[in-house]
Structure 1
Amino acid sequence: MKRVGDSVVLLHGTGRTPRSLRGLEKRLQKAGFQTLNLAYPWRRLDIAGLANYVADALDAEGIFSGCHRLHFVTHSMGGLVAACLLGRLRKRIPVEVGRVVMLGPPLRGSEVADALSGFSPYRWFYGPAGLELTTSSDLLEGLWPDYALGVIAGTIGWPYLSGMVFIRGAHDGRVAVGRTQWQGMTDHLVLPVIHSYMPGAPVVLRQVQHFIETGSFDR
């Protein structure tokens, strides 16, 4: 059944492409949602610049035409891009913001970025946005989610050796569970999944659809 007026924007994570969210996109399309699985230049700009890029792309792609409510599904750093877009650039979204699901978002940074951001190979590969993934980043200072936000965190850190070394407590190899939390979020779900493979895990696909449709995870 086609859901007239409901569209979903998908934002991939650092080092990934829209292909990494293709399974989620197909599931949401099958559920009746119009989707836009967007590529963005994650290495070239800081996160505010990426948020502006996404806003321009949404307009250029015509996503707002016939859309009454816009949802977002993000992975990893894509969550920070969406948070910045919806928090600082909301005026650029001329339709109602619906529900947002973030998978493994470093909302409060990552100890891996703390440990590696001083090294030139890290700065070269991750670009300006990579320097905003540290635990001392003030990127989201003064912001809070005034929309329905569901966050999924993972707890399988292997085989990410950097995560095993630098992160204490439960983590998905890149982000500690505690650092995926954000005051004001609607729901938070912890699953036994790995950071990079989270978007393709069947249990994650099911939970994302459930939140987009109902505003909560299925427990």
Structure 2
Amino acid sequence: MKKLERYLRHKGYVTYNRSYPSTVANVERSAVHYINSALANISRDEISKIHFVTHSLGGLLVRYYLTHHKIKQVGRIVMLAPPNNGSEVAERYRDHFWYRWMTGAPGQQLHKNDNPLLNKLRPLEAEVGVIAGTRSSDPWFNHVFKGEHDGKVSVNDTKLSEMKDLITVDHGHTFIMNKRKVKRHIVNFLAHGDFYRSQQRKHLYDLEN
């Protein structure tokens, strides 16, 4: 997320970019520990809004945290390729040794059916925008998907009922945050609450939704 962090700073945002061991602790532990750590490292008296920009599993961390904690200054949330409804990859391979070894505890929390983690997440009260990829960055998983996907998550599984906007981009899962178009969409949503579209395309989107 370093390139995205620099881009957001250039646009005038104060940023805090924190990596975490995404294959070690489960979603619940990581959400509380690392988001609390992030909040402790910003001067909340000097800012009006706290926005979140997440990639992949990070979206679930924010959803879990905001299910159990209130942030008075919470602003808008942009999720890049989030497995909001699980992933076909996890559903198919979570019992396989190689998958458990590569993804650790969080990988066991990403299946689609009868998922206790997803079932207990409440709708977000903040404005949420989702950016989903439609080009596979993991072609060896293409066979598990029926619809559009980014190699790890299908477009349908990125969706939230409460999301304010959704846009798809022709990019894969892993490096979606580095694409110029994606960065522009993020800034537009943080500023205005929707993703950038030409007036004609925006009108068509409003009619369809």
Identity of aligned residues (%): 33
The answer for the alignment partner of 2:27 in structure 1 is 47
Letter in 2 for 1:189: I
Letter in 2 for 1:76: S
Tell me if 1:144 matches 2:123.
yes
The answer for the alignment partner of 2:167 in structure 1 is 189
Q: Secondary structure at the match of 1:53?
A: helix
- 8 Å Cα contact 1:123-1:131 kept in structure 2: yes
Distance 2:100 2:69 in 1: 26
Compared CA separation, residues 64 and 125, structure 1 to 2 (3 A): farther
The answer for the alignment partner of 1:102 in structure 2 is 79
Picking from 101, 107, 118, the partner of 1:124 is: 101
The answer for the alignment partner of 1:87 in structure 2 is 67
Unaligned runs of 5+ in 2: 198-209
Distance 1:98 1:27 in 2: 19
Compared CA separation, residues 174 and 63, structure 1 to 2 (3 A): farther
* Residue 65 (structure 1) shift: 4.5
Unaligned runs of 5+ in 1: 1-20
Please identify which structure carries the higher strand content.
Answer: 1
- 8 Å Cα contact 1:160-1:174 kept in structure 2: no
Tell me if 1:208 matches 2:180.
no
The answer for the alignment partner of 2:15 in structure 1 is 35
- 8 Å Cα contact 2:16-2:42 kept in structure 1: no
- 8 Å Cα contact 2:138-2:152 kept in structure 1: no
Compared CA separation, residues 64 and 121, structure 1 to 2 (3 A): farther
TM-score computed with the length of structure 2 as normaliser? 0.88
The answer for the alignment partner of 2:57 in structure 1 is 77
TM-score computed with the length of structure 1 as normaliser? 0.84
- 8 Å Cα contact 2:137-2:174 kept in structure 1: no
Letter in 2 for 1:148: E
* Residue 121 (structure 1) shift: 2.3
Please identify which structure carries the higher helix content.
Answer: 2
Distance 1:184 1:41 in 2: 29
